[in-house]
Structure formats: structure tokens, C-alpha cells
A and B are shown apart, each in its own frame.
Chain A
Amino acid sequence: MFWEWWQSLFVDMTASSFFNFSFLPKYGEAVIQGVVYTLILSVVSVLMAVLPAFLLATMRLSKNNIIRSISGAYIAVFRSTPLLVQLMLIYYGVFSWIPVPNFLILGFIDASRFIPGVVALSLNSSAYVAEIFRAGILAVDHGQMEAARSLGLSQGQAMKLVILPQAIKNVLPALANEMITMIKESSVCMVLGMSEIMFTAQTIAGSTMISIGPYMIAAFIYFLITYPTSKVIENVERRMRRGDKN
């Protein structure tokens, strides 16, 4: 009984099916487009998150209770619900009211999906980046603001000329890490048919009947992008910390 069942597992699914990459010659270009799509999607999303995140972080540090809690609520909601849910609500909810132009970016990125996708990802990302900025600003020694204010600089001038230049240095590694996270997280966009890495893998699997190989390639690509990048960031961070000690 058991043996029959056990052997049946290997009839259509052998270990080698994990490494069946025979689809590559035909679908190589699609895979590359998928990679480019993922990179553009995640980089654009995080960059678009920077400005709202800065605003949220500033609000979060405000003395005004109401302003502070508006920002706090935004951050809490976006960090405490799944990105997939946010994506669905924004795509099917919000963007059913907002017309999106229908054209192709670079010949293969469908704007009518890409734009809602980027909006959802950057709204999500801005909650995380806001916390990164807040921590970066708070990490600047309190005495810096006091010295600047004692010279007669306004709060805004002190922020712009003294605090932020130091905070930016603090947050760059965390921001790069957020980019890496987004490269992986952006895979949820496959549910909207955005032809990034995961959607491409799914499409290939469907049309070639090779069910595992395409996802193996996807995993391999994600790893190849994110792992070395995170190592580089770690290195830069370590060197920056050493520089600070003097």
C-alpha cells in the first residue's frame, strides 16, 4: 500500500523536474522582461515612497497630537495588513474610480496595471520608509538641533541644514534594504497580471506544462538579485559605522 503510493509520487514528478529548464530557449526573453519589470516596479515604488514617507515621518515627530496620530494611524494600518489585501483594495477599489491611461512602457509594461501597482506598493512602502526616516532623524544627537537653534536658525533651517544631512547618511542602508524587500514583495503583483518575474514563471508553467522549473528559475533570480545586494549593503554599513567612531 504505502510503497505503491510512495512510488506513484515519482511517476510524473521526479527530482529532475526541479531542474527542467528546457523552456529557457523559447521563453528566455520573457524571463528577462520579467526581471526588468520587477526591478522597475520595485525601484520606482520605493523612490515614489520617499516623499510621502518623509512627510509621514515629519508628521510623526510633530508636537501636534492630531498630526502625529494621523501619521501614526496610516503607518499602523499599512504595516498591519497584508500587502496583497492593500493591492486588491487599491486596484479593484480605488482604481475603479480613477481612469488610468492604457499604453505600454518599454513595449512590455502595461501602464493600466503598472500604475495602480506602483501606487499600492509605494503607499505600503511609505509606511515602512517613514519609520526608517523617523529612526534616522531621532538617531541624530539632540545637541545638534540645540546648537543650530541657539545660533538663531529656525526649526526648518536646522532640520534642512543640520539634521537631515546627518539623518540621510543614517538611513541609506535601511533604505537599500527596503528596496530589496520590495523586490521580493512585488511578486504579489502577479495576481493582477503584471508580467513581473512570478507572473512570467506562472505563464511559462501554464503553457509548457513544466510545473516546477520556471519557479525554480524565479527563485534563483530573486536570490541572485537580493543576496549579493544585501551583502554589499552590510559591508557599506559596517564601513560607515567604523568611520563614525573617530
Chain B
Amino acid sequence: METRTDYIIQVKDLVKTYNHGAVVALNHCSLDVKKGQVIAIIGPSGSGKSTMLRSLNLLEEPTSGEIYFNDVELTSKKIDLNLHRQKMGMVFQHFNLFPHKTVLENITLAPVTLKIQTEEEAKGVALQLLDRVGLLDKADEYPNMLSGGQKQRIAIVRALAMEPEVMLFDEPTSALDPEMVGEVLDVMKELAQEGMTMIVVTHEMGFAREVADEIIFMADGEIVERGMAEDIFAHPKMQRTKNFIDKVL
């Protein structure tokens, strides 16, 4: 049974353990995201940020708990997960471009294979998006010819070509040389301004503060605190949050 809510994503009591329960990566986490919201997830390394993000499109299979996308329970066995993943774009720390495909083929592979666009349409969409991120001239290059910043912008374009309803970012700038961080963040800012729903795991506190509507602080597999950027940074309620903020700012 589906009941309509305002939320594009809802996570209910999510638990994820590894090694038969020896490692608890997520400890009873709940989360909801409204359409158009930009959420930044921050927290120390190993706190479960990636696991949380990767659970949203079920790259990690939850141990228990429920995940809803547009009020459809993704954790139910009855749905076609691939269909819903098409609407959830994901950008990885290490880009994960397909090295045996050109930039253009990287972008058109999924829409064409999944018969969402014809080859012609997909090419048009791809070139338009490439133009937007300033990489039109790289369409026929292979990924190994590109810089990290260029690779990541293309990875974003590849996800956008599927016309997703939400974009998930897992430390998209952590593997970049410092001088390339800006060009990727700029693309993400633009996306946010256009109203894209975004969940961004990041260590870029400046970006989180400036772009995110809300910040989630995670530690030890738990969502410790959630709030407006200003509140989290200036007046954190929890001691663990405060300690972390003091360290990174």
C-alpha cells in the first residue's frame, strides 16, 4: 500500500552490519528528505556516511529497516529496483568512469541500453550537458586522457543524463587535487540552484555551509544531529558534533 507523503526519500530505522554483526556501520538511522532539498552529510571517517548514502539506492543491502523512494519501498522484494535506480543518480569519490568507453559513450550507455532515449536523443542530451560543464571538446576522448576534475564533472553529467530525481554524492571532491575541487563544486552548486534534490557526503565544510539546506552529522553509525547549516556550525546541540566542528573548522 502506498501513502503519498511530501518526502522523496525516507529511511526508517536502518541497520547495516558487516561480518555477521561484528561491525555495526549503521545503528538504527532514520532520515527523510523533501523534494528539492540539499542535504550535506558530515562526520568523521568510518562513521557510516558512505554506507548510509549507498543504502539509499541499495548498493548496500540493509540488514534491517526500510527505505522509501517516492513512497515506494525499495527494500521490498516485489519492486524492480533497476527501474528506481534510474531516477537516483550517484557520483563516486573515484569517478568510476568506464575506461573502455569514450566520454560520450560513458554518458549515453545507460539511457540507450535502457531504451530511455534513442541513440540520437542521448547524444543530443549528452552534448548539451557536456557544454554546460564546459567539456564539449572532450566528447570523443577516453577517460584516461582527462584530469580528475574533468572526470568528476563527466561522472556528474553521466548521472544527469538519466534525468534523475535525486543526486547522491559520496565525497565527490576527496580524490581531487586541490586546484580542481572548485570546478566540481561549481557544477554542484549550479545543480542545487536549479532545484535538484541532493544528498552530499562531504568534507568541504564551506560548500556544506553555503549550499546545503540542512546538515546531518553522523558519528559511530548514528545520526547524531540534524539541523540548518548555521545552527550546526554555530550552535551545535550535541557534544560530539561540537568536537567535530571544532576540529574541522
Which A residues fall within an 8 A CB radius of B?
A: 141, 143-144, 146-154, 157, 161-162, 165-166, 169, 246
A143 touches B96 (CB 8 A): yes
**Which B residues lie within 8 Å of A150 (CB)?**
57, 59, 85, 88-90, 159
Query: Shortest Cβ distance from A146 into chain B, in angstroms?
Result: 6
- A150-B59, A153-B110 in contact; A144/B85 too (CB < 8 A)? no
Q: Given contacts A146-B59, A246-B144, is CB(A152)–CB(B114) below 8 Å?
A: yes
**A residues near B109, Cβ cutoff 8 Å:** 151, 153, 161-162
Interchain Cβ contacts under 8 Å between A and B, 30 examples: A144-B96, A144-B98, A146-B92, A147-B92, A147-B96, A147-B98, A148-B98, A148-B110, A149-B59, A149-B85, A150-B59, A150-B88, A150-B90, A151-B86, A151-B110, A151-B162, A152-B84, A152-B85, A152-B86, A152-B87, A152-B110, A153-B109, A153-B110, A154-B82, A157-B113, A161-B113, A162-B109, A165-B100, A166-B99, A169-B100
Bound complex: CA A141 to CA B110 (Å): 19
Q: B residues near A, CB below 8 A? A: 57, 59, 82-90, 92, 94, 96-100, 109-110, 113-114, 144-145, 155, 158-159, 162
- Chain A's closest residue to B90 (CB) is A150
| A90 nearest CB across to chain B (Å) | 38
Given A146-B59, A246-B144, do A153 and B113 touch, yes or no (CB 8 Å)? Answer: yes
- Return the chain A residue nearest B54 by Cβ: A146
Contacts of A165 in B (CB 8 A): 100
Q: Establish whether residues B85 and A151, one from each chain, have CB atoms under 8 Å apart when the complex forms.
A: yes
Q: For residue A152, which residue of chain B has the nearest CB?
A: B86
Q: How far is the CA of A149 from the CA of B97 in the complex (A)?
A: 13
Q: Closest CB of chain A to B176's CB: distance in Å?
A: 16
Nearest neighbor of B106 in chain A, beta-carbon distance: A147
Please pick, from A152, A154, A157, A162, the residue contacting B98 in the complex, using a CB distance under 8 A. A162
**When chains A and B are docked, how far (Å) is the Cα of A27 from the Cα of B86?**
68
| Known contacts A141-B96, A161-B113, A246-B144; is-contact A153 B59 (Cβ 8 Å) | no
